[in-house]
Amino acid sequence: MSLLKDHITIYDIARRAGVSIATVSRVLTGKLNVKEETRDKVRKVIEECSYEPNLIARALCNRISNTIGLLVEELSNPFFVTICNEAEVFCTSVGYTLLFGIINSWQENETHLLHLIEKRQVDGFIFLGGKANLAQPKKSFLEEIKSVSQRLPLVFINSRIDFENCYIVRTDERMAFAKIIDYVLSCNHKKIGLITGERGFLITEEKIDVFKEKLSAENLEIRKEWIVSGQYLVESGAASMEKILALKERPTVVMCTNDTLAIGAIKQVFKSGLTVPGDISVTGFDDIFISRHFLPGITTMKQDYSQLAELGVKKILSHVSAENCPRETVLEAELIVRDSCRML
């Protein structure tokens, strides 16, 4: 068979309403003036036929698709998916639709994926994770970004890319990590360890920087063997904690640069016959969904997911409608105290 979706078009409506397609189009868009009488007549026919305009045709004509590309590192990542969910909901509420591109499934070809989606004439792109979040993005990647940004507005979430037509929405992760360090200090911890994911990413490097700064400022010892980096995986968090537990002298608290690592770290502590926070405290970052339900509940920092998403979309909308909007918006994070870090 074939999908003979031969839809009703404005021609059908025009004919049945005894007007021209131009008039139908006018009542559809609602911009130009139409005599109330004819407008009602047309509306009635539209209703009767349950006609819906073909958005593909409209997009071709307007050269605006009401569509935004969202390049996300990985949908199964709980941090990213929360933002995607919020973004999607907000988009549909304003008549937009997101086209997702999942970066990880394309290995090195993040750029190729981008072109694939650009062919669908999206009005802009949002970047969530991927190479854009490297502390030092590669030259070739930046060139590509710059090139695309000459055609379309780009929004980077938790990144720092700075070109014409590029916007940024981000959490102030330096301040956020400083906040949770302060909390840890306020619990009288003096021996503090750090578990991170991949080096080279902003979310990693900034936290390491702040970690060292704060500890120095407090005259606390920064021990190399108490800082261990791996990947942003549960297994990696566990492996890192294993290394720390094997040390002759251990920190009293281990801070993790995200909750996934914290989960792995906690698991490993229990596996070693110790407990969290009894024998060692652990903190996370991001407040992913499960952190509240994990045992023990994870003390962490919560980012403002809905704002991150909504502002990202809004910046593109503003750009499209030629409104002014700040190039960068920085959001605060919130400390969420639960059970995984105890007072000494």
Partner DNA sequence: TTGTATGCGTTATCAC
Partner DNA sequence: GTGATAACGCATACAA
Omega before 277 cis (within 30°)?
yes
CB-based contacts of 295, cutoff 8 Å, min separation 6: none
Residue 152's binding partner, choosing from DNA, its own copies, none, with beta-carbon cut-off 5 to 8 A by kind? Answer: its own copies
Q: Which of residues 3-22 bind DNA (CB under 7 A)?
A: 6-7, 9-11, 18-22
Residue 32's binding partner, choosing from DNA, its own copies, none, with beta-carbon cut-off 5 to 8 A by kind? Answer: DNA
Residue 33's binding partner, choosing from DNA, its own copies, none, with beta-carbon cut-off 5 to 8 A by kind? Answer: DNA
Kindly state whether residue 65 participates in binding DNA, applying the rule CB under 7 A: no
Judged by CB under 7 A, the number of residues near DNA is: 34
Question: Exposed, middle or buried, 179 (CB in 10 Å: 0-12/13-18/19+)?
Answer: middle
Alpha helices in the chain, H assignment, sequence order: 10-17, 21-29, 36-49, 55-62, 78-93, 110-118, 139-149, 173-186, 202-217, 234-245, 259-271, 305-320
Residue of 34, 155, 210, 256 interacting with DNA (CB under 7 A)? 34
Residue 29's binding partner, choosing from its own copies, DNA, none, with beta-carbon cut-off 5 to 8 A by kind? Answer: DNA
DSSP 65: -
At 333, give phi and psi (nearest 5°).
-110, 165
Residue 10 or 155 with smaller CB distance to DNA: 10
Kindly state whether residue 31 participates in binding its own copies, applying the rule CB under 8 A: no
Q: Give strand pairing partners of 170.
A: 330
| Binding site residues, its own copies, CB under 8 A | 1-3, 5, 7, 52-57, 59-60, 63-65, 74-76, 78, 81-82, 84-85, 88-89, 92-93, 97-102, 105, 113, 115-121, 123, 151-153, 234, 263-264, 266-267, 270, 289-290, 293-295, 319-320, 322
| Binding site residues, DNA, CB under 7 A | 6-7, 9-11, 18-26, 28-29, 31-35, 37-39, 51-54, 57-58, 60-63
